[in-house]
Chains A and B, each alone.
Chain A
Amino acid sequence: MLEARLEQAQILKKVVEAIKDLVQDCNFDCNDAGIQLQAMDNSHVALVSMKLGSEGFSPYRCDRNIALGINLNSLMKVLRAAANEDLLTLKAEDQPDSLNLLFESSSQDRLSEYDIKLMDIDQEHLGIPDTEYAATITLPSAEFQRICRDLSALSESVSIEANKDGVKFACSGDIGNGSVTLRPHTNVEDEDKSTKIELTEPVNLTFSLKYLVNFCKASSLSATVRLCLSNEVPLLVEYQMGAGYLRFYLAPKIGD
């Protein structure tokens, strides 16, 4: 059986809130290492990959591999009943028809219990290979969100050009064009406000802003975001969580 308690319900709330507009139904794959999720978005241009490691739960018990097929809108309806600071315990049998969620207020004077029905989802969990990227940019997640939001007002797509001097986000639309260039810098008072660029070769790729704006819904999970780019391969947008990550992969656009 599965029994997994999160110290704060808001971690799962934020994950589901961030991906529910991309993915409707998906399997939460549970094993002794933790809970993982991998799903393509409905239009098959983006891939979501999430891991909550067992060390992020206390206690964590999962005797055998269990796939929890969940409709994310249904899960969100239930999770909205949890306060951010509530303890959240997930429970499921080995061959479950439902997932049990228990919310406990931090003062332990309120217990809420919900069951949501599970569904059979034919979805294979495939290992995504570790990739060496030509450019890895770490920046404040709020900064990335702002850039995507601002440029999406002008255009459907953004080019991301990284070289040793900085990273330039540029777009061009009917009303004009715009760009934001970030130069690497270190904020000594708050490391999370730094911009870091690791580069083995310059890259320049174009992506759909609609998807990037959607990925930025995960910004509240982490103060920083990591963008990994190589020419002609999908962009990786990664938000680190305490004991895991939420990753989005987006295929680049190509010229006609």
Chain B
Amino acid sequence: EWLQQYIAPFFNLN
């Protein structure tokens, strides 16, 4: 089972 991470935290985006 893979989990896809959100991109926002990597760039300090909301």
Q: B-contacting residues of A (Cβ < 8 Å)?
A: 40, 44-47, 126, 128-129, 156-157, 206, 208, 233-234, 249-256
Contacts and interface: CB of A to CB of B under 8 A. Distances in A.
Nearest to A46: B7
Given A157-B2, A256-B3, A234 B8 contact: no
Interface residues of B, number: 12
Contact of A45 (B5, B11, B13): B5
A40 B5 contact: no
B13 A40 contact: yes
Contacts of A254: 2-3, 5
7 contacts: A44-B7, A126-B13, A129-B11, A233-B10, A249-B10, A251-B10, A254-B3
Contacts of A256: 1-3
B13 A253 contact: no
B12 to A, nearest CB: 8
Given A40-B13, A128-B11, A251 B5 contact: yes
